[in-house]
């Protein structure tokens, strides 16, 4: 599964992305996940199976969902409680609901 995570600049999510990758590897779940800034999301979502929205940009969720709908891709927001490196299992569980 290919997942694109959008955050305000793409940098703050790098620790989260790494933690989710490690969790997916532990579970033998085939996952490609990247973090991008808000500007890159619109141009790249079509190449992914799922878009995830980081809590710090959830105020723009409706816009991201419309972008996803335009290319027939689901977009969901990450629970703030899961948006930590130790929250990776929760995020992976959320991702798996879209398989």
Query: 7, 19, 33, 67: which one is catalytic?
Result: 7
Number of neighbouring beta carbons within 10 Å of residue 40? 14
- Answer yes or no: 59 catalytic: no
Q: At what angle do helices 14-26 and 88-96 cross, to 10 degrees?
A: 70
In this structure, what token pair is assigned to residue 60? 């723009």
In this structure, what token pair is assigned to residue 36? 């991008």
Number of neighbouring beta carbons within 10 Å of residue 66? 11
**Residue for token digits 């694109």?**
4
Residues known to be catalytic: 7
């Amino acid at each position: 599964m290919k997942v694109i995570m959008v955050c305000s600049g793409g940098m703050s999510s790098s620790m989260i992305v790494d933690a989710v990758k490690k969790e997916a590897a532990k579970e033998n779940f085939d996952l490609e996940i990247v973090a991008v800034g808000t500007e890159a999301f619109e141009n790249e979502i079509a190449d992914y199976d799922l878009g995830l929205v980081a809590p710090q940009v959830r105020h723009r969720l409706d816009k991201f969902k419309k972008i996803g709908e335009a290319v027939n891709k689901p977009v969901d927001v990450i629970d703030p409680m899961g948006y930590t490196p130790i929250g990776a299992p929760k995020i992976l569980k959320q991702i798996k609901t879209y398989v």
